[in-house]
Amino acid sequence: MLPRKPPCALLRALAILCVGVVTSLSQDIPLQTKFLESVEQPPTITKQPPKVYFVDPTDDIHIDCEAKGNPAPSFTWTKDGEHFDPSLDPNIALTNNNSGSFKVHKSNGVLNKKYEGDYQCIVSNAVGKALSEKIRLRLASTPKWPKEVLEPKRVDQGRSVVLPCNPPFGLPPPIIYWMTSTLDHIRQDRRVTQGLNGDLYFANVISSDSREDYTCYAQFKASRTIIQKEPIKLQVNPHRLQNRPARMLTPHGKSSSKHALRGDDLLLECIAEGLPTPYITWRKLDGSLPQGTLSLENFNKTLRISPVSLRNAGQYECTASNTQGTDKHVFDVTIDAAPYWTSKPEGKTVVPGDDANLYCEADGKPKPKIQWLINGVPVEEVPYNPNRIVRGDLVTLKRLPIGGSAVYQCQATNRHGSSLANVFVNVLAVAPLIQTENNKVYEVVENNAIALECKAFGSPKPVMQWSKEKNENVVYANGNLFIQRTTKSDQGLYTCTATNELNSTSIQAYLIVRDATRIKPMASRRVERLKDTRFVCNVSSDENLSLNVSWEKDGTAPIVSSRVAVDGGVLTIEGVTEEDGGVYTCFAETSLDRHSASAKLTVLDRPAAPTKLTLSDLGDRSVELQWAPGDSHNSPISGVTVQFEEDKHRPGDWQTLDNFTGNVSSARLQLRPYVNYRFRLIAHNELGPSNASEPSERYFTPPSTPDIAPFGVKAEGTDPDKMTISWKPLDALDSNGPELQYKVSVRQKGSGDDWREELVSGNESQYVLAGTPPFTPYEVKVQAVNNQGKGPEPLVIVGFSGEAVPRTAPKKVTCDVVNSTVIRVSWEPLRQEDVLGRLQGYKIYYSKVRGLQERRRRHTGKKVLEFHGARNSGMLPGLEPFSTYSVEVAAFNSKGEGPLSHPITANTPEGVPGKVVGLQVTQATLNSVTLEWKPPAERNGILTGYTLTYEYINSTTQELGPSKTESIPANVTSWRVTDLEPQSKYKFYLGAQTNAGSGILITEEAQTVMDVGDFNRAVQTEMAAPKPPSLQRGSHIVGKNFANISWLPSDGREQYVVQYQKKNGDDDDWKNSSTLDSSTNFFVLEDLQPGTTYNIRVIARNDYGHTVSEEDFVETIGTAYPTRSVDLATQAWFIALLCLIALLILILLIICFIKRNKGGKYSVKDKEDARADPDIKPTKEETFGEYRPLESDNDEKPLAASMPSLNGSVPHGESEDSLAQYGDGVEGMFNEDGSFIGQYRGSKERVSSTVDGGPAGAPPLPPAGSAATSPVAPTA
């Protein structure tokens, strides 16, 4: 059987209920209800009245005393130290059977004074006894104001006065108010103040202070009563005001003492009078005024420290001062303290045999006396116990036995009061009790810590032991098994056993170890504003655990909206804004663990505009601009652009003044004079510029002289007697002041004359100087001037007055013949004084007088060539050989031409003749060919004969055979070539000759006829009827009223006719198309009827008969087939036909290209060089007018050996003009005014002229594959 539980256990258990778990010397006491019910608990007072209790005599008295304990406590009272039984008084009723509270009822409407006194509640049970603090009960008094006769207060204006209140004494003291008879509060300020004693102080009175109803009211709050004093009349007499120094009205004297208790309010008051009204200040003479607890009230006249502490003792000085003087008062403040706990005593619950120390640490001023009581009995009156040692504020209990429980009281007392504390010692003897539930299952993830609970209570303290399955001992601590880092091997069944001297008990627990949740780190992002971004949270966890993924932004859940979406481990933000920036955290949580990964989203944007633009340090030409940089929006500000706007010249137009790098906040701006500036700023970062800031205030710089001179100054002659001086005007901001003008200074260069000066308006940009001699140099300068003075000295430039036409003609004009088509003209250059301007060059006018073979002169129109620059000769190209020319020369400048020189004549020598005309084959026999022609139209001299060259053409390879040449007299125009091979093709080259050489060659091809046998076989073939044509079935193109019929032609030279008739029609007659030649393979039948079927066929015929193709039919498009006519290009057969035609054309082009290349398989250059004769080369250093030497050394080589290319450079059947190298004949060489323009011809023309224009050599070879009878267009 267990021993009886000590009664002090009840008090310990109750303390546990109040504060949760109280730690004893050994262990925690369990809080289960059943356990608490089985343990005796000491009494604990839970409710009691304040130490001082004021009651209105007209109210009932409520005195509370409530407590807890086990067994239930009983309540007794003492009054003034004597036993008091409330139940014996008929006017007292107990309010609750389970408490000691009672209520005192009024008798005849009021309370009896006998109920005043000091009450104390005593709570007892079997464990011990607890005492309440003593309660002092007082009935509030409601005194009356004694009747009194108050004399009016009369005082001169400006003097001080005190209106006394003197309220009657009451408990508690009354609250004082000063009001009028209409209950309006008297307004208080520094001049009028109510003191702590209730009096009303006037530092100085004014006339408006006069009134008859100054009334003092006293409010007794405990009795809920307000009483009033008789009204006081204050009369202010008019009086001349006279200033007075400050003087204390209260307190009196220079010093006084003040006493207060710790925890109360300390009030110090100084009220002064004087004129002007004094000010009150405070200081602590032996230290600084306390902080936090001090306040100044009543217009600095009252110093309050609440609550006051012992360290607030000392000397406080108040000073009243005005302009006339000061007055001071010193308070000597002392602070005492009623007893208070520095460390409140705590109860002890111990096991039998333990020791216990009870401390009672109290303080006060004076030092309190400590008295110990046991269950309400002074320790001195309790039987002696050698195991109990009392030393002042410490009680030591040794080897406490079972049943040694008790309640100790510690009472600290000094002259200011006392404090009482109940302290219990509870000696418990309890068998082990395990509070943790049995068979509890624990889950934990790998590598995490886990505590397997085994909370047990017992007295003596039980020994705890853990084991795992096969009696494996595991380290434990404080009853709980703690595993720092769990592994899979820790999973299993565990047993916890608690044992003490009284009993033993155990529970089991099962541990499950799960896979840990893992989350991969996320990368932070820097995203431009309005771009999209997303964070991905990659998580893995134990498959047996439910995984929940959530997101937070800056510690709170992100706002999910139309822009922000969360889909499990993916958070997407569309069009990020500044508000989206922050730290995003992904949480992966199971029932066992929680992990997170965070990433920062930094939103980048253009910077915010700078603000707070201010101007300082204003100078004539500079100013300091300061500003507050705007938000960089997470991208460092790289620079700032300063813009300005001025309101005179370009109002409203912002211009860039300067740029500054870095995130600066001020800049020194260089300004121009006479500008009314205002500024704004634009910040830049990597994302772009900010918006412009708000403009600064305007700053108008003072005017100054111009800083620069006008630039771009030019002096140019316009007329022979005038010169225009022009310049680029200053920019409006460069004027530097009002009344801008330009001073134009002019003087003739080298004359030594003074400057001629003219002032021109600032709006002008030129000045015309009249009366100048032609083309005379002048020195010119232009200077800027305003009303502040002149600008810098400008540079001097030199210009010329206007030009006149040259006044003389070139002299000593001569002509030298270069070759048959070129003459060099030379002259003596004009002197500069005769040019009357800048010489631009010379013009040569020339015309043909007559050909030397002609009997009569025939002048042609004049032509002109220009030669630019100061030169003394020029070439006249493109002349007709064997002719007489007239030549004149004139100089020219920008004003025009001077007079022409005297005409001179020059004769050109003979040249090579032009092409022969009309070369043709008039007869071809088995072994001969007869050619006929006409002499060249341009003989260019006296014809000496013709040269005929011919070559055999291989019919298989198209290669040319060896050439043969025959010379023909000049008077012959028909020639028969013999000894040719039968049925062979030949190429013939014919050119005329003069003493200057062979002319341009023309070509012709001819074929000899067959021998008789071959001829008969060919005739038999030719006399047969043609093969029938083959219609292209399915390839006919049909429309609404037309049909395109196509066929494959035969190989002969037949003709074709397309026939058609309506199918199943009334008319059986075939209708014929027009006759088509052998090269045609299609025909379009028109005027057909829509939606009608036609039979078609094609007839081929020649001189020996005809054949008919097989019939086919076509159907025109009618209303039943509208879609066939919608888009022909989308029909598959039409697309196929176009592709076939394109393919055939491509094949034909390839065949032509191959044949052309075959014709050049012999060495053309060797044959050309064999026939080449040297030509007279033009002099290299000469030029033809404006015509630059288009022929380089390489260009001149064809002229030396004038054999053309065999690939068509030689025109077939015609010749070209020998002037083709300078343009399109004689007329093509000149423009409308006769200027030579041959140099502007294209490259083809230059090549042709090079080939055809040189002297004749051996006859050139014709291109291979040319038809014998087909004309060939001349090569351009």
Cis peptide before 706 (omega within 30 of 0): no
CA distance 953 to 951: 6
Answer yes or no: is pLDDT of 855 > 80: no
Instruction: Provide the mean pLDDT of the chain.
Output: 82
Integer Cα distance of 860 and 924 in angstroms: 45
**How far does CA 133 lie from the centroid of its chain?**
75
pLDDT at 356 over 70: yes
Q: Are 370 and 411 in contact (CB under 8 A)?
A: yes
**Of the ranges 1-15, 360-374, 1017-1031, which one carries the lowest mean pLDDT score?**
1-15
- Whether omega before 969 lies within 30 degrees of 0, making that bond cis, reads no
User: Which residue spans within 1093-1225 are E strands per DSSP?
Assistant: 1093-1102, 1105-1108, 1112-1115
1198, burial (CB in 10 Å: exposed 0-12, middle 13-18, buried 19+): buried
d(CA 548, CA 601): 23
Distances (CA, A) of 662 to 483, 635, 686: 58, 12, 12
Cα separation, 887 vs 900, in Å, equals 10
DSSP letter string, 986-1046: EEEEEEEEETTEE---EEEEEEPPP-HHHHHHHHHHHTSPPPPPEE-TT--EE-SS-EEEE
Does 709 have pLDDT greater than 90?
A: yes
Has residue 1209 got a pLDDT over 60?
A: no
Query: Shortest CA distance to 425 belongs to which of 177, 127, 174, 197?
Result: 127
What percentage of the chain has pLDDT greater than the value 70?
A: 83
pLDDT score, position 1016: 52
Distance between CA atoms of residues 350 and 404, nearest Å = 10
* Rounded Cα gap, residues 710 and 708, in angstroms: 7
Token pair in block for residue 518: 């893992």
Asked if pLDDT for residue 141 goes beyond 90, the answer is no
- Can you give the pLDDT at residue 1150? 87
Distance, C-alpha 27 to centroid of its chain: 66
760 CB contacts (<8 Å, ≥6 apart)?
Answer: 741, 742, 743, 744, 767
* Amino acid 1012: pLDDT: 52
Superfamily of domain 518-528+537-574+584-603: Immunoglobulins (2.60.40.10)
At residue 1267, the pLDDT reads 34
Cβ atoms of 865 and 1213 closer than 8 Å: no
**With bands split at pLDDT 50, 70 and 90, how would you rate the model's confidence at 58?**
confident
pLDDT 10s digits, 427-461: 877 888 888 999 999 999 999 899 999 988 888 88
Please say whether the structural domain 1021-1121+1129-1145 has been given the CATH code 2.60.40.10.
yes
Comparing 776-785, 970-979, 1131-1140, the range with the smallest average pLDDT is 1131-1140
Confidence band of 70 (pLDDT split at 50, 70, 90): confident
Task: Give the CB-side neighbour count of residue 245, counting CA atoms within 13 A.
Answer: 7
Q: Are 792 and 707 in contact (CB under 8 A)?
A: yes
pLDDT at 1242 over 90: no
Is 687 buried (19+), middle (13-18) or exposed (0-12) by CB count in 10 A?
middle
- What distance in Å separates the CA atoms of residue 1177 and residue 1179, rounded to the nearest whole number? 6
Q: Considering only 124-138, 910-924, 1115-1129, which range has the smallest mean pLDDT?
A: 1115-1129
Answer whether 740's CB lies under 8 Å from 759's CB. Answer: no
Place of tokens 């310990």: 12
Which pLDDT score is estimated for 1157? 60
CA atoms within 13 Å, Cβ hemisphere of 1269: 4
pLDDT value of residue 220:
85
Given a cut of 70, whether residue 710 has pLDDT beyond it is yes
Over residues 706-726, mean pLDDT:
91
Phi, psi (rounded to 5 degrees) for 844: -110, 120
Report CA-CA distances (Å) from 818 to 99, 848, 881, 904, 1077. 152, 17, 11, 17, 56
Q: What are phi and psi of 459, to 5 degrees?
A: -140, 115
In degrees, rounded to 5, the angle at the alpha carbon of residue 645 between the alpha carbons of residues 642 and 649 is 145
- For the stretch 884-904, pLDDT in tens is 999 999 999 988 999 999 999
Asked whether this chain's domains 339-427 and 811-907 adopt the same fold, the reply is: yes
**pLDDT band per the 50, 70, 90 thresholds, residue 32:** low
pLDDT band of 15, cuts 50, 70, 90: very low
**Confidence tier at 551 by pLDDT (50, 70, 90):** very high
Contact in structure between 891 and 865 (CB atoms under 8 Å)? no
Superfamily of domain 811-907: Immunoglobulins (2.60.40.10)
Token representation of residue 184: 């309006």
Reduce the secondary structure of 503-539 to three states and give it as a string: CEEEEEEEEEEECCCEECCCCCEEEECCCCEEEECCE
Rounded Cα–Cα distance for residues 202 and 589 (Å): 75
pLDDT of residue 50: 84
94 neighbors 101 (Cβ within 8 angstroms): yes
Q: Are 362 and 370 in contact (CB under 8 A)?
A: yes
What are the distances in angstroms from CA 518 to CA 446, 548, 735?
11, 13, 76
CATH class of 611-700: mainly beta
Name the CATH superfamily for 339-427. Immunoglobulins (2.60.40.10)
Higher-confidence residue of 1123 and 242: namely 242
Q: How far apart are CA 527 and CA 599, in angstroms?
A: 13
Q: Per-residue pLDDT averaged across 717-732, rounded?
A: 90
Question: What confidence score (pLDDT) does residue 1203 get?
Answer: 36
Nearest to 205 by CA among 246, 162, 232, 236: 236
Q: How far apart are CA 743 and CA 549, in angstroms?
A: 85
Cα four-point dihedral sign 816, 818, 822, 828 = negative
Distance between CA atoms of residues 1239 and 1229, nearest Å: 9
Three-state secondary-structure class, residue 239? coil
pLDDT bracket for residue 347 (50, 70, 90): confident
pLDDT tens-digit readout, 195-229: 999 999 999 999 999 999 999 999 888 778 888 88
Question: Residue 663: its pLDDT value, please?
Answer: 87
Q: Where are the domains of the chain?
A: 243-338, 339-427, 518-528+537-574+584-603, 611-700, 711-800, 811-907, 911-1015+1158-1276, 1021-1121+1129-1145
Instruction: Scan for tokens 């198309």, then name that residue.
Output: 1073
Question: Which one, of 67, 71, 163, lies nearest residue 121 by Cα?
Answer: 67
pLDDT over 60 at 1213, yes or no = no
The CB density around residue 474, as the number of other CB atoms within 10 Å, is 14
Residue 1: per-residue pLDDT: 36
Mean pLDDT along residues 673-685: 96
Half-sphere exposure of 1067 (CA within 13 A, CB side): 8
Is 880 a residue whose pLDDT tops 80?
A: yes
**Cβ atoms within 10 Å of 1273's Cβ, excluding its own:** 9
pLDDT at site 856: 66
Q: Which two tokens stand for residue 367?
A: 């030092």
**pLDDT at 805 > cutoff 50:** yes
- Residue 626 contacts residue 613 (beta carbons within 8 Å): yes
pLDDT (0 to 100) of residue 29 = 61
Region 656-684: mean pLDDT is 94
Q: Of the given ranges (33-47, 106-120, 582-596), which has the lowest mean pLDDT?
A: 33-47
CA–CA distance from 852 to each of 380, 858, 861, 882, 906 (Å)?
175, 11, 18, 6, 11
- Residue 1169 belongs to what H/E stretch? helix 1164-1171
Q: Average pLDDT in the 837-850 region?
A: 92
Cβ-based neighbour number of residue 435 at 10 Å: 17
Q: Tell me the per-residue pLDDT of 593-631, one tens digit each, with 9 for 90 and over.
A: 999 999 999 999 999 999 999 999 999 999 999 999 999
> What integer is the mean pLDDT of 276-299?
93
CA pair distance 1136, 216, nearest whole angstrom: 125
Distance CA 186, CA 179 (A): 5
Closest CA to 796 of 755, 751, 760: 755
What's domain 243-338's superfamily in CATH? Immunoglobulins (2.60.40.10)
pLDDT exceeds 50 at position 1251: no
pLDDT higher than threshold 80 for residue 1045 = yes
Q: Which fold has domain 711-800?
A: Immunoglobulin-like (2.60.40)
Q: Which class is domain 911-1015+1158-1276?
A: mainly beta
Determine the Cα angle at 39 with ends 37 and 44, to 5°.
90
pLDDT greater than 70 at residue 1037: yes
Q: At 1009, is the pLDDT very low, low, confident or very high (cuts 50, 70, 90)?
A: confident
Neighbours of 655 (CB within 10 A): 10
In this structure, what token pair is assigned to residue 761?
A: 């308006």
Q: What is the pLDDT of residue 23?
A: 33
Both structure tokens of 762:
């600032």
Whether pLDDT at 755 is above 80: yes
At 763, list the tokens: 């709006």
Distances (CA, A) of 293 to 269, 287, 309, 1054: 17, 15, 10, 135
Give me 422's structure tokens. 């109940």
Answer for the pair 291, 284: CB distance below 8 angstroms, yes or no: no
pLDDT of residue 773 exceeding 60, the answer is: yes
In angstroms, rounded to a whole number, what is the distance separating the alpha carbons of residues 144 and 575?
Answer: 81
